[in-house]
Amino acid sequence: MALALGGVAAMLVIAALALAGFADAEGVPLVRTQAPRISQQVATDNRLYATGALTPVRCRLPRIREGEDESMRRFMETLSQCLDRVWAVQFGKAGMPFEPPQRVFWSEPGRGPCGSYPSPGTAAFYCPENNTMYVGLRHIVETAAGEPVSHYAVYARVIAHEYGHHVQERAGILPYGHQQMSVSDPAVRAEISRRIELQAQCLAGLFLGAERRTLPMTRAQYAAMMNDVRGRGDDRRPPEERHHGTARNYAGWVAKGYRGSAVSACNTWTIPAAEVE
């Protein structure tokens, strides 16, 4: 479901948000003004892939308290600051410039360059037009199918996923993906969308794996997180509408990042289409 844009002209909008039948909570409203053509190599052989493992920053997260917006905001802000530090170091290893994303953690409706929020079924999204992550303080819980806030890894994964889209944006991968989605074939567009989304899943897993000792990521937290992501697959959609990936792959790429030792584990752009179904 595309976000309402009202009056925004000459922009490409490709829906990748609410999945029918699932409590999907994230996506990228792919809104992009026209830009110069980007080489395929930016996605397939990006300099980030050669930077090795993430450098842990010993991220420690504050407790989320049930029904308290401010405790969720503190959790999100602390986690985002950890992500800022980790990815600034990684881009530095690649000799690439990096600026952290802006964030809007909302409790009241609002509007940005990518449209209005909240949108039904959508608790979090990244807007490339203003490099901003938007996350609903209560909506992120509501769309997690009743997952208790004590299972903080569920919510950490959502934030790390949206941050992954910012990493893709700064590395030039997201603009390349949007460029490729200008084709007319809906099946091809859906495959490109899945390569984008599953890479963001992997980058989220990579961060959570790097910080597993101090978050901490216990066996119970990991199980709750993987349970949650398996419920967000778009298996029930026809192939041309599968923008996020099957439950198996949507969870599998988180696990691949979590167990991976380097950013190169998250290259979704050189593998067969069957691995990003």
In a domain, 2, yes or no: no
Paired strand residues for 134? 104, 125
In a domain, 227, yes or no: yes
Instruction: Identify which has the larger pLDDT, 33 or 55.
Output: 55
Rounded Cα distance between 2 and 151, Å, is 30
Number of domains in the chain: 1
In a domain, 218, yes or no: yes
pLDDT at site 4? 31
How sure is the predictor about 5, in pLDDT bands with cuts at 50, 70 and 90?
very low
pLDDT at site 232? 92
In a domain, 140, yes or no: yes
Q: Which domain holds residue 255?
A: 41-271
Least confident of 24-38, 40-54, 215-229: 24-38
Alpha helices by DSSP H, listed for the chain, are 41-44, 69-94, 139-142, 152-171, 173-180, 186-210, 219-230, 247-259
pLDDT at site 31? 54
Biggest CA–CA distance in the chain, Å, is 48
Q: Which of 137, 208, 122, 196 is nearest to 166 (CA)?
A: 196
Whether the pLDDT of residue 18 is over 70: the answer is no
Rounded Cα distance between 143 and 38, Å, is 35
Q: Which of 143, 144, 139, 165 is nearest to 154 (CA)?
A: 144
In a domain, 4, yes or no: no
Least confident of 31-40, 168-177, 257-266: 31-40
In a domain, 22, yes or no: no
In a domain, 15, yes or no: no
How sure is the predictor about 186, in pLDDT bands with cuts at 50, 70 and 90?
very high
pLDDT at site 146? 77
How sure is the predictor about 27, in pLDDT bands with cuts at 50, 70 and 90?
low
Residues 54-78 have pLDDT tens digits of: 999 999 999 999 999 999 999 999 9
pLDDT at site 26? 67
In a domain, 27, yes or no: no
